Amino acid sequence: MKTIATLLLGAGLLLGAAAKQTFTGVITDTMCGADHSQMGTKPDAKCVRECVKEGSKYALLVGNNVYTLSDQKTPDKYAGAKVKVTGTLDAKTGILAVEKIEPAK
């Protein structure tokens, strides 16, 4: 009986685990998201970097969704740019565990 319970628990954990995906979007920050006009800083890349310096987090804007990125160093060179991010999204927290960031074509 313990074996069956252990197998069911293990199967449930595997089913609940998020799968690695590739997301295409724009590197932004969690404060501005899609709209950088409120800050009055141009271009968007400069706004993103300034917001991060003030405590905001790098994020990926995909459609209307803003996902916080686990990697807060690599996105700096892509601020305001369209990229492909490979990783695992935690739907509950909205955090994208980054494995790789590369320019989108």
Q: Per residue in 26-72, pLDDT tens?
A: 999 999 999 888 878 889 999 999 999 999 999 999 999 999 999 99
Average pLDDT, the chain: 88
What are the structural domains, with CATH classification, of the chain?
19-103 (2.40.50)
Q: What is the DSSP annotation of 52-98?
A: HHTT--EEEEETTEEEEES-SSGGGGGTTSEEEEEEEEETTTTEEEE
Give 11's pLDDT tier (boundaries 50, 70, 90).
low
Identify the helix (H) or strand (E) that includes residue 22: strand 21-29
pTM of the complete model = 0.81
pLDDT attached to residue 3: 62
Query: 59-105: per-residue pLDDT in tens?
Result: 999 999 999 999 999 999 999 999 999 999 999 999 999 999 999 98
Sort strands 21-29 and 58-62 into parallel, antiparallel or unpaired: antiparallel
Cα→Cα distances 88→6, 38, 98, 99, Å: 25, 31, 7, 8
Distance of alpha carbon 99 from alpha carbon 81, whole angstroms: 18
